[in-house]
Amino acid sequence: KALQDTTVIFVLGGPGAGKGTQCANLVRDFGFVHLSAGDLLRAEQERPGSQYGELIKTYIREGNIVPMEVTIALLENAMLASGQTRFLIDGFPRKMDQALKFEEAVVPSKFTLYFECPEEVMLRRLMKRGETSGRADDNIESIKKRFRVFTETSYPVIEHYSKSGKVHKVSCVDAPDAVYANVKEIFNKLFN
Ligand code: UP5
Ligand code: MG
């Protein structure tokens, strides 16, 4: 299969923890391709003629998890289209069945990078970003729903991989550069 020899790292953490911010650093320093599932879904929502536009819009506004068939297809297509072999899969899997399906149908993950961050810190970041982001889910109602879905549905994915020792946990509370210093240490050991 085309994606057999690829390295996939899941980048997980609560809404606004800083997944996208840190992935940009890793792209620069380690040559990964960054695929944010949320970004791919938002792009699909905007794509003229998409049959999933309305569905995605509703799920994202409500902080709910889009059916995995849609997300996995977008991820797999983007991986194949890139022609590359090292991927940061950001914000996916958000549910246990998605994790199992992706690893079975696409490629197993190497490990999970988990950004730990208290809700009050994430709330502050998202409310601030909401002043300019234009994201339909950067408002207090949607943010509260996103937090609940993360705790109830997405965090168990991290727990699952923790049990098999496949999680590298990094605190995301400090300034972006300080957080990245810790991320870089992990990646230097593995990829340099
Ligand atoms: N910021 C970042 N790091 C900082 C730091 N160390 N100190 C101070 N500020 C920091 O950062 C968020 C904000 O904080 C930015 O303003 C940044 O400058 C600042 P960012 O890097 O964007 O954080 P990130 O974790 O990427 O936050 P994001 O909002 O993207 O996380 P979500 O997980 O909520 O969003 P995502 O786009 O992944 O998903 C959105 C929705 O899509 C989901 O709720 C769901 O409805 C849907 N979805 C699915 O259905 N399935 C999927 O597989 C994926 C998404
Ligand atoms: Mg993001």
Look at residue 2 and tell me if it is in a domain: no
Look at residue 87 and tell me if it is in a domain: yes
Look at residue 70 and tell me if it is in a domain: yes
Range of the domain at 122: 7-187
Task: Specify the pLDDT at position 1.
Answer: 60
Burial call 41-52: b when 16+ CB within 10 Å, e when fewer: bbebbeeeeeeb
Lowest mean pLDDT across 2-6, 25-29, 33-37, 51-55: 2-6
86 DSSP β-pair partners: 7
What residue's CA is closest to ligand 1, atom 34?
15
Domain count, the chain: 1
Does residue 155 have a pLDDT over 90? yes
Look at residue 1 and tell me if it is in a domain: no
Protein residues with CB under 6 Å of any ligand 1 atom: 13, 15-21, 36-38, 41, 59-60, 63-66, 71, 91-92, 94, 125, 129, 137, 146, 172, 175-176, 179
Which of 113, 117, 125 for mutating ligand 1's site (highest number of atoms within 8 Å of CB)?
A: 125
Q: How far is CA 99 from the centre of its chain?
A: 12
Peptide bond into 176 cis (omega under 30): no
Q: What is the DSSP letter of 51?
A: T
Look at residue 44 and tell me if it is in a domain: yes
Look at residue 73 and tell me if it is in a domain: yes
Q: Distance, CA 36 to ligand 2 centroid (Å)? A: 6
Query: Contact 107/9 with Cβ under 8 angstroms?
Result: no
pTM tops 0.90: yes
Interface predicted TM-score of the whole assembly (ipTM), two decimals: 0.99
